[in-house]
Structure 1
Amino acid sequence: MPFRPFLAGFLLALFQPAGLFAQPKEEEPKQKFTFKAIAFARVPGLEEIYFGEERETLRLPSRNFSQPLEYEGTYPTIFYGKKKDEEGNEIYYPVATVEVPEGLKEVILVFLSTSRKVALTGRRFQILQLDADKARFPGGGRHFVNLTTTDVGVTIGEQKILARAQSSATFVPDAKTAEAGRVPVQVHFRWEGTWRLLSSTRWTMDSRVNTLVFIFEDPIRKRISLRGITNRLSAPPPLPEESEEE
């Protein structure tokens, strides 16, 4: 009877292992970029963190940027801490995540400590990311990266800069400001329709360096903060040679 071979074939197909006819799983798309990092505040025990499939090491400096590092892995980018379990085995656990937009090849990552409440969830850092191309501007200049939800105005000598909320603006000293050498600086932020003072200081106009200025909402202090990172564009002039005494 033709029914029996059909029934046998049907039962054979029904009880085959599930993975036998399964389609091969597609690999998750990988992202690749170069990054430099800095931490505005240290988290005890997390001076070194890890990233990528090979768990490469990132030592988080707090004064200057780290050396450029290559990332190749899944999206988003996850950073890990490391500890030992009860049996003494090393295990990695996520401490921060950042979504770097596709197409960016060079990125600056700024690590901020999270509040105690957020840290209880395991998220120890908030990461701010910036296209590294924005760090390329003339010596003596400042590039203001406003990561807050309010406008920020800066007066440098007699020059004025407006960095609107969630945007950036570049300051390049004019001839008068450059010649002044050291000029007064005031930074204000807009709050409920009025301008409030954030910082009052003096800056030196040095054509050998430029400075990235981050304006951000500090998750621990719960207020707007300002932090500048200086990049040296050229080596300082050599010291004059001392004449030998006879």
Structure 2
Amino acid sequence: MNPIKSAVVCCLAFFLPAAAIAKEPSVRLLADHVPADLGQLCLVAGKKKSDPMSLPINSLSAAVVVPDRHFELRRIDGNEALASVELPAKGREFVVMLSSIDTGFQAAVIPADDRSFKKGDVYLFNNSGETIVGKVGGAELEIENGKGIMLHPEAKDSETSYSVSFKVREDSGERVLSNTSWPVEENMRSYVFFYVDPKRERISFRSVDEFIGD
């Protein structure tokens, strides 16, 4: 190797974090809602643990290097698993959407570095207990409970927004949950939860956007 190039590589290795050099798999976490007494959490695999972290609901967490591709989410002061997460064998960057259940959280793993998940796309996860149907732009959706789908909504060139309709399929028919319009966000992709709001005891949804650079 050219001595100058070798020196540059050594300098970069000195200044970059070890996680960046090793390119270990990492996750960013997002939850539908969090109990007030949850406290800080960590990712655990055997005797390995991540640094303590808080679980956000309105934005993705900072990237956390995982101790292993199969890990558990636990309170920092407890041994009980709140969620068990299995990352795919391939890929380095993931988003883990956590939906509340009686025993903790159900995890949906999304490859964040997958080229099929592009700017303007929407990933929807249903934890409402019912089937969710509707449209996002021109894309129709039907999501069974406990399932997630990725949509690629499009708006006409002359429009700056697209229509969004969500309905809950119940025994008595389809009940409208929301009819609205979403702006076209060229540098964003979105994550949508359907869940039972614990305060209102009704099915609700929440959308969280993620900025995607060039």
Relative to the length of structure 1, the TM-score reads: 0.60
> Does residue 1:139 correspond to 2:116, yes or no?
no
Distance change in 2, residues 1:145/1:51 (3 Å):
closer
Matches within 5 A, 1:67-78: 67-72=62-67, 77-78=72-73
Shift of 1:50: 3.0
Q: Distance in 2 between matches of 1:50 and 1:208?
A: 31
**SS at the partner of 1:44?**
coil
Q: Distance in 2 between matches of 1:210 and 1:133?
A: 13
Correspondent of 1:49 among 34, 37, 41:
41
Correspondent of 2:107 among 114, 120, 129:
129
Unaligned runs of 5+ in 1: 1-31, 82-91, 236-246
Q: Distance in 1 between matches of 2:109 and 2:35?
A: 25
Correspondent of 1:34 among 5, 8, 26:
26
Shift of 1:218: 4.2
User: Is the contact made by 2:99 and 2:107 (CA closer than 8 Å) also made in structure 1?
Assistant: no
Q: Distance in 1 between matches of 2:63 and 2:69?
A: 19
Give the AA of the match of 1:226. F
Distance change in 2, residues 1:148/1:62 (3 Å):
closer
Question: Which residue in 1 is equivalent to 2:59?
Answer: 64
Question: Which residue in 1 is equivalent to 2:134?
Answer: 154
Q: Distance in 2 between matches of 1:187 and 1:48?
A: 33
Distance change in 2, residues 1:49/1:112 (3 Å):
same
Question: Which residue in 2 is equivalent to 1:234?
Answer: 213
Give the AA of the match of 1:143. Y
Distance change in 2, residues 1:98/1:113 (3 Å):
closer
Relative to the length of structure 2, the TM-score reads: 0.67
Which structure: larger Rg?
1
Distance change in 2, residues 1:146/1:39 (3 Å):
closer
Single out whichever of 58-67 and 214-223 deviates more from structure 2.
Answer: 214-223
Question: Which residue in 2 is equivalent to 1:93?
Answer: 78
**SS at the partner of 1:66?**
coil
**SS at the partner of 2:56?**
coil
Give the AA of the match of 1:98. A
RMSD of aligned Cα (Å): 3.2
Identity %: 18
Unaligned runs of 5+ in 2: 1-23
Question: Which residue in 2 is equivalent to 1:11?
Answer: none
Equivalences, count: 183
User: Is the contact made by 1:134 and 1:143 (CA closer than 8 Å) also made in structure 2?
Assistant: no
Shift of 1:35: 1.9
Give the AA of the match of 2:26. T
Distance change in 2, residues 1:78/1:47 (3 Å):
closer
